[in-house]
Structure 1
Amino acid sequence: MKACLCKSFGPPSNLVIEEMPDPVAGAGEVVVSVQACALNFFDTLIIQGRYQYKPDMPFSPSAEFAGVVEATGEGVGKVSVGDRVMGYMRWGAAREMVSVCEADLVHLPDAVSFEVAAGLAVTYGTTLHAFRDRAKLQAGETVAVLGASGGVGQAAVEIATVMGAKVIACASSEEKLGFARELGAELTIDYSTQPLKETLKELTGGDGVNVVYDPVGGDLSEQALRATAWEGRFLVIGFAAGDIPKIPLNIVMLKGCDVQGVFWGASVDRDPDAHRSNMEQVLKWVGEGKLKPHVHAVYPMEEISAALEEIAARRVRGKVIVKP
């Protein structure tokens, strides 16, 4: 099989495409023929050795995929050869075939394409876990989404809207905000020209927002936290800005608010049944047309370096898909 390999930490241009032996399904494992896999911002970090996981060399980037079951190992009973599936595996999906545990797979309805399904697990899985399991988001509440045009930002705008919340999309340009409005955002803030805290307070009549969804970090985090409502929830998703903010705890005390960590990858391992339930809900919404995931571009595996460079340069709206 063909695989994209990282053999030394560095920029995307270091990646190589090589032939490898086909995987074999061990006990409890399933071999999947990968029809599409997706790239995320953390893939630009993991190939540089700057991510929380540091795989042994050589490894393949891409944490999520969709495809067809090719073979099953001893003890596998929930999927069969020929089934359409999607899955999540931290890293290693940028290959023509992968071997994963049966528990890591979710059945894929015929109504959802491989290209769309490949990009659902990380962004939509993270977001539904954040809103449903962590923040307990309720219809009628107000949600501020930072970085609203990126992969998780798009998912946050869409899912909060489907759950009945009022969404304030926050991004760094009018073009990005226009995209967020197409996804369902009622209000928008360009934080490159508008003060985030003051504008959030103004748009909520001084009350503040019930939930902040923050995949950006940096200087924006404290501003957004200061704009939360009484007993608001601040969701820590990630740090795309590169800087991990230091939050004054007196803000948390004075607002009676909660700062909630969203470590979706660990939650998948700790509660796989809840993860599967969330993904089945996401797939149902996609099938019904309530969620319309945006695919930024589809690249052949030979152009995966260019795809990662697009993500690193913040030129992506929605998901980047790779077809082995």
Structure 2
Amino acid sequence: MNGARSALKPDKPEQKQRIDLNSLATDKQQQHHQATRLWLANKSGLRSLGRGLGITKALGMERMEQLAPNIDRPHRWQAYYPAKTEKQGDVALFIGCFSDMFDQKTLDDSITLLNTCGYGVHVPGTQTCCGALQQHKGDSKQAAQLAQQNIDAFAPLDITAIISSATGCGSHLKEYQRIIDRSLPACDINTFLSQIEWPSSTQFNPLNKKVAVHEPCSQRNSLKESNSPYTLLKRIPALEIINLPGNEQCCGAAGSYMIDHPIMADSLRDDKLDAIKASQPDILVSSNIGCALHLAAGAKAANINLEILHPISLLARQIKT
């Protein structure tokens, strides 16, 4: 599939965006600045004012504004987070590009749970975008350069695995062997935590709610690890866990597709929103940042009162302290 994309002429987007996604994805400094601006706009009320006055639409940023979540103040990462219980080993965390911008909460929660399970967590500062965005747009040369940069960033570390919290990134990290004939010990956070032995002292508070599990295409079809979130969520007492009907169908996010082709992306998302309305969960969990942003924007537009978060964040919130 990726080879075919590289051979074809790049697809012409339906909507022209003022923000260069490729530049943003590969520039950590720009990511931090843009995330800080988003946080300030939310906090000050300028974001809602700009939307109400039609400024974001006039600037060609309406779609991006719809997808961008309300975020906490962005922070910088430590190089290492030590285990909080008897040490089992060390891992590294892949923070990605848009996860680092829009979902530091899930990354923080991943570190918390890994530390709780006895794993120290390295976060190398020289890591970059996984390259999926570039590969999918047919730029195999830059995708290979980004893959090599990540190989070099993680190479010096003595680690058990490189943990990813976004299944889209995680599935692409596993493609490095094909892209540059080098491999990384990449593992999805759900899969890693569902396979290790947890400390017997770790307990979770009950949650008497219904949670629907959305299975991203990258998790279901590429990684083939869609069972792991269900396994983890069973640790929470009293939680009713269901699969979101229609999980075999794409939600329409598909990396940058939801930005470049909003009409088709939203049409695919409508089926998910119908499934949410029919099953009426209190919470929806998704293990891919793009899917979560796309579904959350759709739920908000449809006035569906629903919390959407990563299964890791739900686990971290329920852990007894």
TM-score, normalising length from structure 2? 0.29
TM-score, normalising length from structure 1? 0.29
Q: Indicate the structure with greater helix content.
A: 2
